[in-house]
Amino acid sequence: MLSQADRSKAAQILLTAEAERKPAVQLSKTFPGITIEDAYAIQSEVTKAKVAAGHRVRGHKVGLTSKAMQQSSQIDEADYGHLMDYMFIADGAKIPFERFIVPRVEIELAFVLGKPLKGPGIELVDVLRATEYVVLAGSFTRPVWALKGDTLRADFGPLGAISVQFV
């Protein structure tokens, strides 16, 4: 487990990489003892920094839900991240690819919730009951590192932008 000082350094590495649009070294290379708990704590620090800079959390994302993607990322469970206001691209708008480090596009389903989910113990039926509607979405990633589980979680998993109602 990392110290709070190392978690703060890791958060700054990710914030700097995004701001400068330059890849960062994978966090586990800089911080070999990093854990899942550290990664989510780093993600929380990054989120707080973005909120302090005037952005707001507009939604949440669960990623790596398929076993194939988990294996390719060397993790064994889905990850979770925040959707910040600046990540949303209006349907039909020009995609600002210059904002991304190594842009990739993923087509996904977006569950737009009409009611908040509160846990622990949330089951599939709870998600379905809270869902207002489901739409096709384009997820534009901007990874700031080599794909590995620890940094995936710390860096929002690595969403750069999302276009809901994509087609």
Rg (CA), the chain: 16
Instruction: Give the pLDDT score at 109.
Output: 81
Strands (E), 64-158: 79-84, 104-113, 131-141
Which among 16, 14, 7 has a CA at the least distance from the CA of 159? 14
The answer to whether residues 101 and 22 touch, using CB atoms and an 8 Å cutoff, is yes
Q: Is 40 exposed, middle or buried (0-12, 13-18, 19+ CB in 10 A)?
A: middle
Q: Which domains, from first to last, does the chain contain?
A: 4-164 (3.90.850.10)
* pTM reported for the whole predicted model: 0.78
- The per-residue pLDDT for 51 is 97
> How many angstroms separate the CA atoms of 128 and 121, rounded?
14
Per DSSP, the three-state class of 42 is helix
Q: Are 95 and 161 in contact (CB under 8 A)?
A: yes
Per-block average pLDDT, block size 10, for the chain (167 residues)?
95 88 83 88 93 92 80 79 84 80 78 88 93 82 53 51 50
Give the pLDDT of residue 162. Answer: 58
- In 3-state terms, what secondary structure has residue 35? coil
- Please give the structure tokens belonging to residue 15: 């914030």
Cα 62 to Cα 83: distance, rounded to the nearest angstrom: 10
* pLDDT value at residue 44: 93
Q: What is the pLDDT at residue 161?
A: 55
Residue-level pLDDT at 103: 76
The pLDDT assigned to 68 comes to 87
d(CA 87, CA 51): 13
99-122 tens-digit pLDDT: 777 777 777 788 888 999 888 999
